[in-house]
Amino acid sequence: MTKSSPVASPWWSPDIHTGRRPALLKRNAVRRALRAHLESAGFTEVECGALAASPGNEAHLHAFATDLLTVSGEATRAYLHTSPEFAAKKLLAAGETKIFDFARVFRNRERGPLHAPEFTMLEWYRAREPYDAVMDDCVALIRRAAETTGIATFTWRGRTCDPFAPPERLVVGDAFLRFAGIDLLATLDRQGVGNRGLLADAAARAGFTVATDDNWADIFSKVLVARVEPQLGLGRLTILDRYPRCEAALARAAPDDPRLSDRFEVYASGVELANGFGELTDAAEQRRRFEAEMNEMQCIYGTRYPVDEDFLAALAVMPPASGVALGFDRLVVLATAARRIDDVLWTPAPPFEQTGHEG
């Protein structure tokens, strides 16, 4: 007869909750501080609905689906959004100019120390303002979080970052050269389309195993995750800027180089905290990109999501804008020195099977 493993106490066990509560109260304080910062800068808080006709059209984002029922029981497929982006951009088309949302968002196939199937995304937009403005917002909000909890240094898995030090701004192509010895730009054509063979050869020389069915984006992601991301945000914040155009489905092309895009990510201690764009407002180009992404999703996962036609119609009249999505829970993890994302969620998701991201 074998003994069964002891079952860990649930998060709602009074003795467990007592230990969790200080970090949760700090979470509340950080949220208040970030809201006050944005409101003092002239932003309006909005609340984007979670139900959507399309959850987003990126090949590797997986949504939760549901059915909307009429009184007679007829069903229409709907989704829980993976980001408030589509709804927020409709508000920009409606005339809003500076908005933010502490949105509850939902992503399937995601569970791990920094991933949860339901989490909070702080997303904000500036209409008719330069791309650099939202970068500055990111740095200011990260510092505000650290000030609020009184932490001087972020630490994650032995990697440290001073959020108050001047941030490093690093071009993606330079990061691949520095950390992986790969000339990424040499694998892009004049319009930013990746050459799979060139990148596969470069990755193999750098020591990567490339599968025969890996496409350019797969190889890019392997190198980014294994060699580049662990080196970002060490000692100070890193703003990883100017992503290849083919890795920025919702961002406009860089004005000085059509191979690249106005897309950046912010890292601290090797952790991605934020993803920002100079927003694409060409509805026809956006439709082409969505269709390409859904074709890839169909090929890899055997499914696809519909295109939100209402969003494309709004995009056609939306003003130029820049926007950012910041993982609020991840920021709280770093600002409270928590061990994992579940430690800073008031009610963590049930312990479903651990699948998807584990890093």
Give Cα separations from 300 to 247, 269, 293, 296 (angstroms).
Answer: 17, 32, 11, 6
Secondary structure percentages of the chain, helix, strand, coil, to 5: 40, 25, 35
Alpha-helical regions (H) of 171-282: 172-180, 196-205, 216-223
Owner of token pair 């209402």: 310
Amino acid (1-letter code) at residue 19: G
Instruction: Find the length of the chain.
Output: 359
Q: What is the per-residue pLDDT for 357? A: 46
Q: What is the per-residue pLDDT for 251? A: 94
Give Cα separations from 202 to 180, 243, 261 (angstroms).
Answer: 9, 18, 22
- DSSP sequence for 54-107: -----TT-B-EEEEEE-TT--EEEEEE-S-SHHHHHHHHHHT--EEEEEEEEE-
**Half-sphere exposure for 259 (CA within 13 Å, toward CB):** 12
Q: Which of 335, 348, 324, 272 is nearest to 122 (CA)?
A: 324
Q: At what angle do helices 196-205 and 216-223 cross, to 10 degrees?
A: 30
Q: Which two tokens stand for residue 223?
A: 């190198």
Q: Which two tokens stand for residue 102?
A: 């502490």
Amino acid (1-letter code) at residue 256: D
Per-residue pLDDT of the chain (359 residues; tens, 9 = 90+): 455 556 678 999 999 999 999 999 999 999 999 999 999 999 999 999 999 999 999 999 999 999 999 888 999 999 999 999 999 999 999 999 999 999 999 999 989 999 999 999 999 999 999 889 999 999 999 999 999 999 999 999 999 999 999 999 999 999 999 999 999 999 999 989 999 999 999 999 999 999 999 999 999 999 999 999 999 999 999 999 999 999 998 999 999 999 999 999 999 999 999 999 999 999 999 999 999 999 999 999 999 999 999 999 999 999 999 999 999 999 999 999 999 999 999 999 987 654 444 44
175, β-bridge pairs: none
Q: How far apart are the first and last CA of the chain?
A: 36
Query: What whole-number distance in Å separates Cα of residue 119 and Cα of residue 325?
Result: 12
Phi, psi of 241 (to 5 degrees): -120, 160
Q: Which of 135, 134, 137 is nearest to 321 (CA)?
A: 134
Strands (E), the chain: 44-45, 51-52, 64-69, 75-80, 98-106, 118-127, 154-156, 159-162, 168-171, 235-236, 238-241, 253-254, 257-261, 263-268, 271-278, 321-327
* Full-model pTM: 0.93
Q: What is the per-residue pLDDT for 45? A: 98
Q: What is the per-residue pLDDT for 352? A: 60
Q: What is the per-residue pLDDT for 1? A: 47
Q: What is the per-residue pLDDT for 356? A: 44
